[in-house]
């Protein structure tokens, strides 16, 4: 079990995201109002605070949203979850892990500053199966196999 420490969006792609504290997860889209939302397999991105701490130890002044993640978590080693894992996010929302990591976009500011970026190895992506609101402080649970709700 883990906890949501930030819910982040950005109005345009290519920007760091800002923690808005709460958001609505929409089926076939992602986080309502986020530029990266849409009907594809990477609707919502998640990154653990523990991963962000690794970059801080390299001297970077980074925090939630700086890796363009929608949801920052604490207490779950996200990158070890297999594709297909279902996560209950908050009271009712459910997401399914669709991808582990991704390539940084050309000109990734974090990679340019540190020579490394944690998102390609430790960030995960989910598609929204069950809509619902998520907020800072909400619990994230790994759902048993075969359970949808």
Q: Which domains does the chain have, with CATH numbers?
A: 2-142 (2.40.33.20)
DSSP 24: E
Q: What is the pLDDT of residue 58?
A: 83
- Report field, pTM of the whole predicted structure over 0.85: yes
Strand-pair category, 132-135 with 22-26? antiparallel
Q: Using alpha carbons only, give the angle 12, 15, 132 rounded to the nearest 5 degrees.
A: 65
pLDDT at 9: 97
How many residues does the structure list for the chain? 149
Distance separating alpha carbons of residues 110 and 112, to the nearest angstrom: 5
Q: Which pLDDT value is given to residue 75?
A: 98
pLDDT < 50: residue spans in the chain = 114
The first and second tokens of residue 73, run together, are: 């978590």
Report angle CA 92, 149, 96 to the nearest 5 degrees.
Answer: 85
SS3 track for 23-73: EEEECCCEECCCCCCCCCCCCEEEEEHHHHHHHHCCCCCCCCCCCCCCEEE
Per-residue model confidence as pLDDT tens digits over 87-114: 999 999 999 999 998 765 555 555 555 4
The predicted pLDDT at position 125 comes to: 95
Residue 29 dihedral angles phi and psi, to the nearest 5°? -140, -65
Q: How far is CA 64 from CA 55, 69, 81, 87, 144, in A?
A: 12, 8, 21, 20, 28
């Amino acid at each position: 079990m883990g906890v949501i420490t930030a819910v982040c969006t950005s109005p345009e792609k290519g920007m760091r995201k800002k923690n808005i504290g709460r958001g609505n997860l929409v089926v076939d889209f992602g986080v309502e109002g986020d530029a990266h939302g849409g009907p594809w397999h990477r609707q919502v991105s998640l990154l653990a605070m523990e991963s962000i701490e690794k970059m801080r130890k390299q001297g970077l002044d980074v925090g939630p949203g700086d890796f363009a993640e929608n949801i920052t978590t604490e207490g779950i080693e996200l990158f070890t979850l297999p594709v297909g894992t279902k996560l209950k996010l908050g009271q009712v929302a459910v997401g399914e892990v669709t991808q582990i990591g991704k390539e940084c976009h050309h000109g990734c500011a974090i990679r340019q500053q540190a020579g490394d970026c944690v998102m390609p190895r430790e960030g995960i992506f989910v598609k929204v199966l069950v809509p619902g609101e998520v907020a800072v402080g909400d619990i994230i649970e790994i759902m048993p196999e075969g359970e949808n709700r």
